Chains A and B, each alone.
Chain A
């Protein structure tokens, strides 16, 4: 999963090191799908090793898997690419458990992987859409911190939204 040795073109390889010491060797074109790494490559030029102290190996691996898929699909120039990416994205987020989704989104956000953040925030939004307030609190382990009566006040103003 970490590096591709099958390509014949000479693409630069970057070494990424996760918080737990796991390293990944990835093509520059793949890693630069992440804004944070792209900025670094543009500003600093060539680096041997990029350390990412806020992401552990498991989630960095998943983020890079997503980057790789999208980098590959974007190089093929046929029109069905959008569809392929969409289909692949759907598969990617379909069975994510909540813990993984949380860490993955935090990692994507930290690495400024805008498209991946879009995909994952949309996934989280789909877990909120149409749900009751109590269900949302339970799903995201949120405790109501309103003063007594405050919540009722807000509900009353838009009672139709709670029907």
Chain B
């Protein structure tokens, strides 16, 4: 018996140029860096229409190597980036966008700092004073708008979160003013307090904030009067997440419990997700990063000296499903140089399992394949960390 392979690919229309079918060309173009993609728009009409098609940015994103955005803890006027491409490490930095599109980031007031609130699909959300910026450094595109309400006196500040909503092909920014009470709780911003007015900004929508009222996330527990968020927002499953410390004050500025506030970008509803039960008290302050492990919401926690745990929420939103996925003792991994674990802590995790570590002004990498700590390069104090991937979103 004879069989003939004659699939749908046999008789496809060829692209007008170069002889390859259009989806092969799209695959080729989606492997390029953002700058090359922008240049390829000029090659011919068919390439231009492939690149400007709404689906292209997603295919391009999928083919890029994820990296990290590192915001230095001083008033440095740049963002730093790191990419770990199969052992090839690349660090670079990008000055704040003050030179194009008539959108200067005003830097004359040194009391103000640029604060990063999230990074999603290559677009960084940061605030400076009362202006919110969405910036894609790879294609030098920026959008800016005013915060949803007038700024509160320093050091109080608005909290933001950035998400990309797939259904509407749009970026959503959530802006939450602080809600401080006098006296007790002076240290806490209390953004998620019941009744607080929250702004939601959709980039494609009207250029104004839609106002929502914060529900009672903490079930009116009098012990939860104060809470404080930490670190950048993180997106998974169509939800924007913030790590939040709440509950009784067990020491000055130290709150008892750790939770995750989640905002559903489709229904625009907030909810509170509990952390693993063992992360309470001072232990809670060792939770340093949310990340995505095969589609599950996960936490990276750290305890001196050199103890790193990973927690995975097997079933999204179900607190009982937190499972300790992985424990690592840095002092038991192979370190080919003398070092002091006391000062080494993880900044974040790469999708291949490697960890970016920081210690004594040096960046290290924990190589998960070889269970080995490797020296990367001299570093700097990192105030904020987010995952970053080059993209052509926002173009």
Measured CB to CB, the nearest residue on chain B to A102 is: B19
Could you tell me which residues of chain B, from 31 to 46, have a CB within 8 Å of some CB in chain A? 31-33, 35-36, 38-45
**Which B residues lie within 8 Å of A129 (CB)?**
32-33, 36
Least distance between A7 CB and chain B CB atoms (Å):
25
Judge whether A115 is part of the interface by a CB distance below 8 angstroms. Answer: no
Known contacts A121-B28, A142-B18; A110 and B44 CB within 8 A of each other: no
B18 touches A109 (CB 8 A): no
In the bound complex, how far is the Cα of B3 from the Cα of A49, in angstroms? 6
- Report how far A6 CA is from B369 CA in the complex, Å: 34
Query: Is B282 interfacial (CB-CB < 8 Å)?
Result: no
Query: Residues of B contacting A160 with CB < 8 Å?
Result: 100, 140
A161 touches B38 (CB 8 A): yes
- Set of chain A residues within 8 Å of B17, measured between Cβ atoms: 140-143, 145
B31 touches A121 (CB 8 A): yes
B1 contacts A by Cβ under 8 Å: yes
How many whole Å from A29's CB to the nearest CB in chain B?
Answer: 18
* Chain B neighbourhood of A49, CB < 8 A: 1-3
Q: Which residues of A contact B (CB under 8 A)?
A: 36-37, 40, 44, 47-54, 79, 102, 105-106, 109-112, 117, 121-122, 124-125, 128-133, 136-137, 140-146, 151, 154-155, 158, 160-162
Q: Is B106 an interface residue (CB 8 A)?
A: no
Total CB contacts across the A-B interface at under 8 A: 118
- Which residue on B lies nearest to A158, using beta carbons? B38
Q: Check if B362 is an interface residue, CB within 8 A of chain A.
A: no
Please judge, given known A-B contacts A109-B9, A112-B7, whether A133 and B2 are in contact too, CB under 8 Å: no
CB–CB A124/B44 < 8 A: no
- B residues touching A (Cβ–Cβ < 8 Å)? 1-7, 9-10, 16-21, 24, 27-29, 31-33, 35-36, 38-45, 48, 100, 139-140, 369
- Pick from A52, A106, A145: contact of B44, CB below 8 A: A145
Q: Which 7 A-B pairs have the closest CB atoms?
A: A161-B38, A142-B17, A125-B31, A140-B18, A51-B4, A158-B38, A121-B27
**B48: chain A residues within 8 A (beta carbon):** 154
- Which residues of chain A come closer than 8 Å to B20, judged between CB atoms? 102, 105-106
User: Separation in Å of the B321 CB from the closest CB of chain A?
Assistant: 32
CA gap between A109 and B10 in the complex, in Å:
10
Are B6 and A40 in contact, with the CB atoms below 8 A? Answer: no
Is A144 touching B43 in the complex (CB atoms < 8 A)?
yes
B16 in complex: contacting residue of A50, A111, A145, CB < 8 Å = A145
Residue from A121, A136, A146 in contact with B45 in the complex, judged by beta carbons closer than 8 Å? A146
Partner of A154, one of B5, B19, B42, B369: B42
Given known A-B contacts A54-B10, A105-B24, A146 and B44 have beta carbons under 8 A apart: yes
